[in-house]
A and B are shown apart, each in its own frame.
Chain A
Amino acid sequence: MRQILWGLFKKIVIADNCAFIVNDVYYNYTTYSGSALFVGAIFFAFQIYGDFSGYSDIAIGTSRLFGFNLMKNFAFPYFSRDIAEFWRRWHISLSTWFRDYLYIPLGGSRGGNWMRIRNTFAIFLVSGFWHGANWTYLFWGFLNALYFLPLLLGGANRNNLDTVAKGKLLPSIKEVFQMGMTFLLTVFAWIFFRASSITEAITYIENIFTASFFTLPTNASKLMVAQFVILFIFVLIEWIQRDKEHALEIEKSISQPFLLRWTFYTLIIFTMVAFYGIPQEFIYFQF
């Protein structure tokens, strides 16, 4: 039930509210300031995460109610220190499928660097194509494969297998930098994923890197401020729970009595009541 609740929260508070701003930004990307476009790109990263991982959580939680255990599909991917870790934590079921039915049959990592690079590009291009017959998805896949390249060449693609800052409250400065960079790289790639054409994505990116990047977003509103506050709290909760199955997996203990846990769940419900966004269809319904 808690996993369903968290999934609903991610969908209707995080994804749907971000969608409202993202749709507006992408609709007006030729007129909005660089800062507004940057915020739009960040919000899309959260929209797609909230939408798809929320959907997965609802499905996993519902299945568990009926006695079925489905595999975990997201493992706090935005806390990844490199792109390889990100792909081990994002859409795990699809990544696993590609690994088992494409990467390994193609030879996997057995044939040296060249084969690993070829196979990595193959699965990312197919993954892009899997999302739709559009150059934007293909380029998004290509971009992700490109991000992988330095890790493959340096043999560093399996450096970060553990949870970041395991057992610690805060990450080190190095980890913050790594997570920030990985997040920005994914945000950059998502621009191609969200845009309706490559030209639109390139214009969008060009318009970010203008002098208006250093001004207040053209579309700044109370809703945007509220959404930033909610996103901050959301990231904080996910950070604290990052080594759990899902963010609402709170153990029963003396330090966390049921009244405290129930109050926390009720606060989540309250946020859903007060800040739910305009209902949007799940993004992944189209794929």
Chain B
Amino acid sequence: MKGFLYKIVLFSIFALLLLETIAYAYRMSGLFEHFIPGAEVYLSIRKSKQKTNSNVVLIGDSVGQQMFSNKQYSDKPYSLACNQAVSFAGYYFLLNNFVKAGNEVDSVLLFCSPFSFDNNLNQIFTYHYFLKPFGRSPYKSDFTNTVNTQIAKLPYHQIASSNCIAISKWAPLPDQLDTVDFSFMSPVASEYLTKIKRLSLAHNFKFIMVPAPTKNSNKKEIANFDKKEYLGQNYETEIISYFDRIRYIDDKNFSDKIHLINPDLHVGYYKETYSLK
């Protein structure tokens, strides 16, 4: 019995070390990205680090992804849109990568649904979509206190940066849903919108917030959003303009609360309005 236990302990140490090494090599190869949830996030990260000829970049959520797929390598716009689950922190990191890669940016379009602002890194997919891809260097040093606090609430957040966890489909479910005290703009969204705006000023590019087509039936809910949550912020002008330009369309165009059944029908409007032709 003693010998058996001794062998088990020894094998566990051996296996853990070897597993982490193999997982590191596998992670570096990028192959894992095809087999875990959030493949589009890894694609956007890879694209964000490339030097391109494009000076119009689009970041944003899955509606942005539906209309301007990040799988396509178009110059106008160069799409880094992926999923709202990465939060505005994720959008900022992608944009920051793109700027750091030496790209000369003229304008940045932040394309999102009005319901994407409420991500406070408190969602079921936060572990997969945010913590695994961004919970490591170089992004970690750019986490605000709010982000650190929110991450600390996720179970097993300490092991998220381990290679074995990063390459696996596994993610824990939150113990309980985080309570929120905002109407639509989460603290995380607000802090990183501020950072995006600062980045735009530092690098002298236009920052435009583009509203996704929205259901007619959501008009009332959006009208009740608490404006105090953005008034006085450095991105106030952009967000006021964002709400002014929301296009409300018939509910029959949507497959759920925000996603479009036929996104291609609406691409022309955005290309025309935001000079993306």
* Cβ-closest chain B residue relative to A268: B15
Provided the pairs A222-B34, A222-B35, A223-B35 are in contact, do residues A276 and B18 lie with their beta carbons within 8 angstroms?
A: no
- Complex: chain A residue closest to B16, CB-CB: A266
* A269 surroundings in chain B (CB, below 8 A): 15, 19
Assess A226 versus B168: contact at CB under 8 Å? Given A262-B11, A266-B18: no
Q: Given contacts A222-B34, A222-B35, A223-B35, are A273 and B14 in contact (CB under 8 A)?
A: no
Distance in Å: Cβ of A174 to nearest Cβ of chain B: 39
Size of the A side of the interface (Cβ < 8 Å), in residues, is 16
Report whether A267 and B22 are in contact in the complex, using a CB–CB cutoff of 8 Å. Answer: yes
Q: Would you call B14 and A262 a contact (CB within 8 A)? A: yes
Give Cα A199 to B225, complex, Å: 54
Q: Which residues between 159 and 178 of chain B lie within 8 Å of chain A, taking CB atoms? A: 164, 167-170
Q: In the complex, how many angstroms separate the beta carbon of B12 from the nearest chain A beta carbon?
A: 10
CB-CB < 8 A to A274: which residues of B? 23, 26, 32, 35, 167-168
| Inter-chain contacts of A226 with B (CB < 8 A) | 34-35
A253 at the interface (CB under 8 A from B): no
A263 to B22, CA, bound (A): 11
User: Contacting B19 at CB < 8 Å: which of A1, A222, A223, A266?
Assistant: A266
Chain B residues, CB < 8 A from A265: 11, 15
CA of A223 to CA of B37 in the docked complex: distance in angstroms? 12
Which among B26, B32, B168 has the greatest number of chain A C-beta atoms within 10 A? B168
Q: What sequence of 0s and 1s flags, for each residue 213-249 of chain A, a beta carbon within 8 Å of any chain B beta carbon?
A: 0000000001100100000000000000000000000
- The minimal Cβ–Cβ distance linking B272 to chain A, given in whole angstroms, is 35
Task: Provide the residues of chain A in CB contact with B15, threshold 8 Å.
Answer: 262, 265-266, 269
Known: A223-B35, A274-B35. A263 touches B169 (CB 8 A): no
Place the interface of chain B in its size category.
10 to 19
Determine the residue in chain B with the shortest Cβ distance to A1: B8
In the complex, whether A87 has a CB less than 8 A from a CB of chain B is: no
How far does the Cβ of B15 sit from chain A's closest Cβ, in whole Å? 5
What B residues does A1 contact at CB under 8 A?
8
Number of cross-chain contacts by CB at 8 Å: 42
Per-residue CB contact flags for chain B residues 168-197 toward chain A (1 = under 8 Å, else 0) read: 111000000000000000000000000000
Q: Please indicate the chain B residues that have their CB under 8 angstroms from the CB of A262 in the complex.
A: 11, 14-15
- Interface pair A270/B23, CB less than 8 Å apart: yes
**In the assembled complex, which residues on chain A have CB atoms less than 8 Å from the CB atom of B34?**
222-223, 226
Residues of A contacting B167 with CB < 8 Å? Answer: 273-274
Chain A at the B interface: SS class:
helix
Question: Is A147 engaged at the interface, CB distance under 8 Å to the other chain?
Answer: no
Which B residues lie within 8 Å of A223 (CB)? 34-35
Q: Does A275 lie at the interface of the complex (its beta carbon under 8 Å from any beta carbon of B)?
A: yes
Shortest distance from the beta carbon of B132 to any chain A beta carbon, whole Å:
14
Could you say which residues of chain A place their CB within 8 Å of the CB of B22?
266-267, 270
- A17, closest chain B residue (CB): B35
Task: Output the residue of A226, A265, A273, A278 with the most chain B CB within 10 A.
Answer: A273
Residues of A within 8 A of B18 (CB): 263, 266
Q: A265-B11, A266-B15 are in contact. Are A273 and B35 (CB under 8 A)?
A: no
Taking the nearest CB of chain A, how far is it from the CB of B162, in angstroms?
10
Find out whether the CB atom of A273 lies under 8 angstroms from the CB atom of B168.
yes
A242-287 with Cβ < 8 A to chain B: 262-263, 265-267, 269-270, 273-276, 278
When C-beta atoms are compared, the residue in chain B nearest to A225 turns out to be B34
Given contacts A263-B18, A266-B19, contact A275 B11 (CB under 8 A): no
Contact with A along B14-48 (1 / 0, CB 8 A): 11001100110010000010110000000000000
Task: Please determine whether A275 and B19 come into contact, CB atoms closer than 8 angstroms.
Answer: no
B14 CB contacts on chain A under 8 angstroms: 262, 266
Write the nearest CB–CB distance from A177 to chain B, whole angstroms. 35
A276/B169 contact (C-beta < 8 A), A265-B11, A267-B22 known? yes
Closest chain B CB from A143 CB (angstroms): 36
CA distance A222 to B164 in the complex (A): 21
Q: What separation, in Å, do the CA atoms of A273 and B170 have in the docked complex? A: 8
CA distance A269 to B170 in the complex (A): 14
Interface pair A273/B19, CB less than 8 Å apart? yes
| Complex: A269 Cα to B11 Cα, angstroms | 12
Q: What residue of chain A has the Cβ atom nearest to residue B164's Cβ? A: A273
Give chain A nearest CB distance to B165 CB in angstroms.
Answer: 9
A270's contact among B19, B169, B170, by CB below 8 Å, is which? B19
Which residues of B are found within 8 Å of A267, using beta-carbon distances?
22
Q: Which residues of A contact B11 (CB under 8 A)?
A: 262, 265
A109 to B139, CA, bound (A): 74
A47 to chain B, nearest CB (A): 18
Q: Known contacts A223-B34, A274-B26; can you find 10 more A-B pairs with CB under 8 A?
A: A262-B15, A265-B11, A266-B14, A267-B22, A270-B19, A270-B23, A273-B19, A273-B170, A274-B167, A276-B169
Closest 3 CB pairs of A and B: A266-B15, A222-B34, A266-B18
Which residues of B line the A interface, CB within 8 A?
8, 11, 14-15, 18-19, 22-23, 26, 32, 34-35, 164, 167-170
Q: Could you list some 10 contacts between A and B, CB below 8 A?
A: A222-B34, A223-B35, A226-B35, A263-B18, A265-B11, A266-B14, A273-B164, A273-B168, A274-B32, A278-B169
